[in-house]
C-alpha cells in the first residue's frame, strides 16, 4: 500500500515512520522545508505530564484581559475577535466542569500512549542521543499561586504522574541563580526535552528516508476520493494518486478538510520565542513560569525563551513585541541572563477548542485520515498519533478509543 502524508512536520514524520513499520510505502508531501513550521522553533519538550486542557473552568472570566493586554500569556488581537468568536464559544463549552474532566481523562490516556510510543520510536529510529532527561521545574511567585496550582497537581497525581513540591535549598539546587521572588516550585522528574527540536525532526526524517520514504516538495490544494484511493491535487497543476492519505499539515489542514466536507474549528496559536547563546545562563533544566505562560529551555543550539498564546490566525504579521516581553521577564527572573544577540521566531500551532487533536477518518472516505490540531503538544503527542494513524490504515483496533478525537465531534 502507498500512503501519502501531507505535511512533513514532527506529526507527519511520526506518522510516516509508523506506517513504514507496517510495511507500507510512504511519500511525504511538504509545501516548505522539512519540519520548518511549528516543529522548528518549539520549546523542545516531551510534556507527558501536561494533561490539563487549556479550556478549564472559569478561564473565560479572564477574556477581557486577553484583549486588553496584547503582551500577556494569552492574547487575542481585537480585530480578530469577530472571526474567532465561534471558536471561543466552543472553547467556553469545553471549559465547563464535566467536559473539562472528560477532556483531562482523555488527554491523560493519550499522554500515556505518547510516552510509550515515543520510547519505541526513539529506539527504532536511533534518536536516543537527542534526549535529555533532566526534568522540569515550574516556579511560583506567591503562596496564592502555589495554592491555585494544587488542584492541577492533584489531578496529575490521580493519573500517576510523579512530581515533587520544592522550596528553599532544594529548589536552589535544582536551579541556582533564581530571583528571590520565587517562593516555591514543582519538579517533574519524568519530563524530557530534546537537544534541539528541529534536529530531532530532521533525524527522524533521515530514518524515514532510510526506510524508503520519498519527499515531494509541493503544495496540496485538494484531496478527492477516487476509486480505491485518493487523488491529490497540487498547486502547480499536477496530481498524484495514493492508496491512502494522512492529512498532517498542522495549521494549514482546515481548508483541505473543508474540501472533503469536514468543517473543523481549527484555530491558530501563534507562539513566539527568542533563542539566546548557549552560555547565556547556567540553565540546568527547562523552567516553566506558569503565571506568565512561557518556559526557558536549554538546547544544544541555544537557550530558548518562549511560549504564550496569541490567537490570531495565519494572516496577521508577527508581533515580536510578545517575544521581547517574555525576554524581559526572563531577565528579571534569572538575574545575570545575557539577552543580547537573540534570534526571534514565530510559529503557528494548530489548536482545537477542547485541547484534543483530530485523529480519525474523513467523512468523505476512510482512506483519508486526519492527524492535526495538537496545539502546543505536537512534539509530545507525535509518536502516539503515528501509532493511532497506523492502526487506522492497517484496519486494526486502535491502541486507544478514537471517539474523543473524531473529526465530527464538534
* pLDDT tens for each residue of 340-365: 999 999 999 999 999 999 999 999 99
Question: Which CATH architecture is the domain 1-56+96-130+193-263+354-410 placed in?
Answer: 3-Layer(bba) Sandwich (3.50)
pLDDT value for 81: 87
Residue 137 pLDDT greater than 90, yes or no? yes
* pLDDT tens for each residue of 52-89: 998 888 887 776 776 667 787 888 888 898 999 999 99
pLDDT value for 133: 96
Q: Over the chain, what HEC string results? A: CEEEEECCCHHHHHHHHHHHHCCCEEEEEECCCCCCCHHHHCCCEECCCCCCCCCCCCHHHHHHHHHHCCCCCEECCHHHHHHHHHHHHHHHHHCCHHHHHHHHHHHHHHHHHHHHHHHHHHHHCCCHHHEECCCEEEEECCHHHHHHHHHHHHHHHHCCCCCEEECHHHHHHHCCCCCCCCCEEEEECCCEEECCHHHHHHHHHHHHHHCCCEEEECCEEEEEEECCEEEEEECCCCEEEECEEEECCHHHHHHHHHHCCCCCCCEEEEEEEEEECCCCCCCCCEEEEHHHCEEEEEECCEEEEEEEEEECCCCCCCCCHHHHHHHHHHHHHCCCCCCCCCEEEEEEEEECCCCCCEEEECCCCCCEEEEECEHHHHHHHHHHHHHHHHHHHCCCCCCCCCHHHCCCCC
* pLDDT tens for each residue of 254-307: 999 999 999 999 999 999 999 999 999 999 999 999 989 899 999 999 999 999
Residue 8 pLDDT greater than 90, yes or no? yes
Q: Which of 52-66, 162-176, 210-224, 313-327 has the lowest mean pLDDT?
A: 52-66
pLDDT value for 63: 64
pLDDT value for 64: 72
Amino acid at each position: 500500500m502507498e500512503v501519502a502524508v501531507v505535511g512533513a512536520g514532527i506529526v507527519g514524520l511520526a506518522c510516516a515512520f509508523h506506517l513504514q513499520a507496517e510495511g507500507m510505502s510512504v511519500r511525504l508531501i511538504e509545501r516548505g522545508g522539512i519540519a520548518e513550521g511549528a516543529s522548528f522553533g518549539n520549546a523542545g519538550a516531551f510534556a507527558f505530564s501536561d494533561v490539563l486542557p487549556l479550556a478549564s473552568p472559569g478561564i473565560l472570566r479572564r477574556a477581557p484581559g486577553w484583549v486588553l493586554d496584547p503582551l500577556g500569556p494569552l492574547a487575542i488581537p481585537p480585530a480578530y475577535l469577530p472571526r474567532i468568536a465561534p471558536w471561543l464559544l466552543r472553547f467556553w463549552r469545553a471549559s465547563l466542569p464535566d467536559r473539562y474532566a472528560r477532556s483531562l481523562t482523555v488527554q491523560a490516556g493519550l499522554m500515556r500512549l505518547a510516552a510509550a510510543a515515543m520510547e519505541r520510536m526513539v529506539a527504532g529510529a536511533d534518536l536516543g542521543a537527542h534526549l535529555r532527561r533532566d526534568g522540569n521545574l515550574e516556579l511560583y511567585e506567591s503562596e496564592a499561586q502555589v495554592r491555585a496550582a494544587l488542584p492541577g497537581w492533584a489531578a496529575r497525581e490521580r493519573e500517576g504522574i510523579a512530581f515533587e513540591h520544592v522550596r528553599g535549598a532544594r529548589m536552589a539546587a535544582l536551579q541556582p541563580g533564581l530571583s528571590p521572588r520565587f517562593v516555591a516550585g514543582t519538579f517533574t522528574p519524568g519530563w524530557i526535552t530534546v537537544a534541539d527540536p528541529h534536529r530531532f525532526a530532521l533525524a527522524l526524517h533521515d530514518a524515514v528516508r532510510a526506510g524508503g520514504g520519498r519527499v515531494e516538495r509541493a503544495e496540496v490544494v485538494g484531496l478527492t476520493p477516487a476509486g480505491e484511493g485518493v487523488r491529490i491535487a497540487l498547486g502547480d497543476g499536477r496530481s498524484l494518486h495514493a492508496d491512502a492519505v494522512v492529512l498532517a499539515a498542522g495549521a494549514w489542514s482546515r481548508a483541505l478538510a473543508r474540501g472533503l466536507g469536514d468543517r473543523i474549528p481549527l484555530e491558530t496559536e501563534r507562539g513566539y520565542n527568542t533563542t539566546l547563546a548557549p552560555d547565556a545562563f547556567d540553565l540546568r533544566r527547562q523552567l516553566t513560569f506558569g503565571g506568565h505562560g512561557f518556559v526557558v529551555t536549554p538546547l544544544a543550539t541555544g537557550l530558548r525563551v518562549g511560549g504564550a498564546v496569541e490567537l490570531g490566525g495565519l494572516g496577521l504579521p508577527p508581533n515580536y513585541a510578545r517575544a521581547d516581553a517574555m525576554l524581559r521577564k526572563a531577565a528579571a527572573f534569572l538575574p545575570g541572563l545575557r539577552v543580547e544577540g537573540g534570534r526571534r521566531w514565530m510559529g503557528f500551532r494548530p489548536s482545537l477548542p477542547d485541547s484534543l487533536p483530530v485523529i480519525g477518518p474523513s467523512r468523505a472516505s476512510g482512506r483519508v485520515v486526519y492527524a492535526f490540531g495538537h496545539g502546543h503538544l505536537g512534539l509530545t503527542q507525535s509518536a502516539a498519533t503515528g501509532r493511532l494513524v497506523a492502526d487506522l490504515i492497517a484496519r486494526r483496533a486502535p491502541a486507544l478509543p478514537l471517539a474523543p478525537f473524531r473529526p465530527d465531534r464538534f
